[in-house]
Amino acid sequence: MAIQPVLIEGPNGPLFAIHHPPAENAPERGDLIYVPPFAEEMNQARRMAAMQARRLVHAGYGVLLLDPAGTGDSGGDFADARWDGWLEDIAAGLDWLEGRGRPLAGLWGLRLGGLLAVAAARANPARVPRLLLWQPVTSGRTFLNQFLRLRVAAGLSGDGERETTATLRAALAAGEPVEIAGYPLAPALAAAIEGADLTVPPPEACAVAWLDMVASPDSPPPPASARTIAAWREAGVSVAHRTVVGEPF
């Protein structure tokens, strides 16, 4: 079966996606929905996501590469994107697969998409049997700080009053959107990212495969990953963790 570009009717506008059906000669393993990373990381990771989708196809998985509302080729503007809306978009992807009789293998989340995928699994405990997490963000607050620093760094060479993460947070708290690297960040989305973390584990019945990229074979997993995985296992969640040596992409 050929790769299919599709439009899904989402609650926040049309959602563009690419569906990779499993190879016909491979065992049927169900479909994964790819939940992409945030802002420019999504664009930088597109090639890797497409390559991995092709590998999964030959292992018997279908893959739905989904652009949430306001991103990629989906409807809406990034300025209007909201965390809860993205959770609704993932649910619309689940509905689309179910409507075509495709069994769901799980959600595949990269970076902030991993944090969003875990939230989606908690919101749909009976529908998401597995999570595949690539270098998931464990703290939305830390991630937001790093994102705000992109604007701070961009302004260091300019004249006038220097911005800081504190002044940018104050603007967001006052209801003002902040543009960072060409992406207008809405206060509501920033607040949702700020409050998201992996303290609450996914449902106990949801098996997790967690991959962290490291610089060398003897590198330990990131401390935040190790702490979160230990807490999840203590809560009864099955987590298979592996480090992968490779260049950041």
Residue 1: the pLDDT is 60
**CA–CA gap between residue 138 and residue 196 (Å, rounded):** 8
Place of tokens 């080729």: 73
Query: Both 172 and 79 in a single domain?
Result: no
The token pair that represents 94 in the structure block: 């689940």
Residue 68 has pLDDT above 80, yes or no: yes
Query: Both 134 and 235 in a single domain?
Result: yes
Would you say residue 125 lies in a domain?
A: yes
* Main-chain phi, psi angles of 69, to 5 degrees: -55, 135
Would you say residue 23 lies in a domain?
A: yes
Residue 156: the pLDDT is 67
Q: What is the pLDDT of residues 198-232, one digit of tens each?
A: 999 999 999 999 999 999 999 999 999 999 999 99
pLDDT band at 2 (very low <50, low <70, confident <90, very high): confident
Query: Both 25 and 124 in a single domain?
Result: yes
Would you say residue 46 lies in a domain?
A: yes
Query: Both 146 and 93 in a single domain?
Result: no
Place of tokens 């293998």: 105
Query: Both 185 and 82 in a single domain?
Result: no
Would you say residue 195 lies in a domain?
A: no
> Which residue, among 137, 117, 89, 116, has the nearest Cα to 32 in the 3D structure?
117
Residue 162: the pLDDT is 84
Would you say residue 226 lies in a domain?
A: yes
Q: What is the pLDDT of residues 157-172, one digit of tens each?
A: 556 678 999 999 999 9
Tell me how crowded residue 13 is: count the other CB atoms within 10 A of its CB: 15
pTM: 0.94
Residue 19 belongs to a domain with what CATH number?
3.40.50.1820
Residue 177: domain span: 142-190
Number of domains in the chain: 2
Query: Both 91 and 122 in a single domain?
Result: yes
Query: Both 172 and 233 in a single domain?
Result: no
Query: Both 220 and 175 in a single domain?
Result: no
Contacts of 153 (CB under 8 A, 6+ apart): none
Query: Both 118 and 167 in a single domain?
Result: no
Query: Both 122 and 47 in a single domain?
Result: yes
To which H or E segment does residue 32 belong?
A: strand 31-35
Residue 161: the pLDDT is 72
Residue 22 has pLDDT above 90, yes or no: yes
Would you say residue 196 lies in a domain?
A: no
